[in-house]
């Protein structure tokens, strides 16, 4: 037997392991509370789906975007034809599901749902870490809970990319606040492979790294973060360009095939005015309300002087969501990852009396539960 095998691990490894364990214990109430909120909502959804003679797995794993992901997993990407091409969907989530399904005892769709829950738990841990870092333990817990009961929180539990992207965005920004450049760069690279909205995250990493290298040009980790951060998003853009034989391939597919492009917010404003002036479905009223609240909360985050990487991420995500044309009914979902907007209400609830906090979170959970059921079982379009 090799004597080295019986020797204790290095002190640095022990410290790292102890640090991770301590962080996990501290985050346990946030992650557990988040999962409880989502389990309550999912239980209500199950009862509703059962009464409508639909399966819970079906509504969570085989609807709208989930069907496209299943197609990518089973048949791969097309070549941009027809124009409503699956190349519009980024590869990290479907490839993760494909890899996990190879060893999973359940089917591909169920594996996608399980992974979404795992990613959502990772996001809740990161939300706690940021809330606790900027404020305190209670704020961190409540930030995770509030993310679990926003109006469109149901997509966090579906075979969708929102939970994956939010987890990567949260940990990217936490690493930036902690000046862990390589972690920030790698997480941002992966975020760029998960959703197009990584364009809201990449500038935050690159600017923070740029400031670091200006202060200390030999900071190689910051240099590496600057190179890593855009690599995932740019890599997929170039791969699509080569596949469809045009440099603007992905953008062409988005505009010509999916009817989505940048118009500076004209489409959003026109639709919001039309909705508020007449009779519209519940979903459209909810989306309009979420957009208005998001703008108000962003103004509050500026007034409260959040760290600039969080402000920049929120601002760019808002600009991407509000400034894009098409899919008005999905614009609130596009803001699911805009977690810095929830920090002010989380901090306010952390200062409130426990009874007030419990009442507010319980009420929001029930509202979110109903709205999640409405989106999947009544509303006829994607959430």
Q: If you average pLDDT over residues 44-71, what whole number do you get?
A: 97
Residue 9 pLDDT class (50, 70, 90 cuts): low
User: To which residue do tokens 């319980």 refer?
Assistant: 362
Q: Which two tokens stand for residue 156?
A: 């966090």
What sign results for the dihedral spanned by CA atoms 155, 158, 159, 163? Answer: positive
The rounded radius of gyration (Å) of the Cα atoms in the chain is 21
Q: Which two tokens stand for residue 323?
A: 């400034």
Residue 20 pLDDT class (50, 70, 90 cuts): confident
Domain boundaries, the chain: 23-247+355-377
Instruction: Determine phi and psi for 261, rounding to 5 degrees.
Output: -155, 180
Model confidence over 212-266: pLDDT tens digits? 999 999 999 999 999 999 999 999 999 999 999 999 999 999 999 999 999 999 9
Q: If you average pLDDT over residues 316-339, what whole number do you get?
A: 97
Q: If you average pLDDT over residues 143-154, what whole number do you get?
A: 98
Q: If you average pLDDT over residues 103-114, what whole number do you get?
A: 96
Q: If you average pLDDT over residues 111-133, what whole number do you get?
A: 98
Q: Which two tokens stand for residue 300?
A: 């509050």
The answer to whether 339 and 313 have CB atoms below 8 angstroms apart is no
The answer to whether 172 and 184 have CB atoms below 8 angstroms apart is yes
Q: Which has the closest alpha carbon to 368: 65, 32, 34?
A: 34
Q: Which has the closest alpha carbon to 77: 239, 252, 258?
A: 239
Intra-chain end-to-end CA distance of the chain, in Å: 59
Question: Is the pTM here over 0.85, yes or no?
Answer: yes
């Amino acid at each position: 037997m090799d004597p080295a095998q019986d020797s204790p691990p290095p002190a640095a490894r022990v410290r790292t392991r102890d640090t991770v364990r301590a962080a996990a214990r501290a985050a346990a109430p946030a992650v557990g509370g988040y999962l409880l909120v989502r389990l309550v909502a999912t239980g209500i959804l199950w009862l509703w789906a059962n009464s409508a003679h639909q399966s819970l797995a079906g509504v969570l794993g085989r609807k709208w975007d989930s069907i496209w992901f299943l197609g990518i997993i089973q048949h791969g990407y097309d070549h941009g034809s027809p124009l409503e091409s699956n190349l519009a969907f980024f590869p990290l989530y479907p490839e993760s599901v494909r890899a996990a399904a190879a060893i999973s005892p359940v089917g591909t769709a169920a594996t996608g749902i399980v992974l979404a829950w795992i990613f959502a738990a990772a996001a809740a841990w990161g939300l706690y870490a940021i809330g606790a870092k900027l404020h305190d333990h209670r704020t961190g817990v409540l930030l995770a809970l509030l993310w679990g009961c926003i109006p469109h929180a149901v997509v966090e539990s579906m075979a969708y990319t929102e939970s994956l992207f939010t987890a990567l965005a949260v940990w990217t920004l936490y690493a930036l606040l902690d000046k862990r450049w390589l972690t920030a760069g790698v997480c941002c690279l992966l975020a760029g492979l998960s959703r197009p909205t990584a364009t809201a995250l990449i500038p935050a990493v690159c600017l923070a790294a740029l400031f670091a290298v200006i202060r200390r040009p030999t900071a190689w980790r910051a240099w590496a973060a600057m190179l890593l951060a855009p690599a995932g998003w740019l890599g997929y853009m170039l791969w699509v360009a080569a596949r469809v034989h045009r440099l603007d391939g992905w953008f062409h597919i988005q505009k010509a095939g999916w009817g989505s492009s940048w118009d500076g917010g004209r489409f959003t404003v026109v639709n919001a005015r039309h909705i508020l002036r007449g009779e519209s479905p519940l979903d459209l009223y909810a989306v309009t309300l979420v957009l208005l609240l998001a703008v108000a909360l962003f103004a509050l985050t500026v007034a409260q002087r959040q760290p600039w990487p969080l402000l920049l991420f929120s601002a760019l995500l808002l600009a991407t969501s509000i400034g894009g044309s098409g899919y008005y009914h999905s614009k609130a979902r596009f803001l699911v990852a805009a977690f810095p907007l929830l920090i002010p209400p989380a901090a306010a609830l952390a200062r409130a009396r426990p009874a007030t906090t419990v009442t507010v979170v319980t009420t929001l959970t029930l509202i979110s539960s109903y709205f999640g059921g409405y989106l999947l079982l009544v509303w006829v379009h994607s959430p």
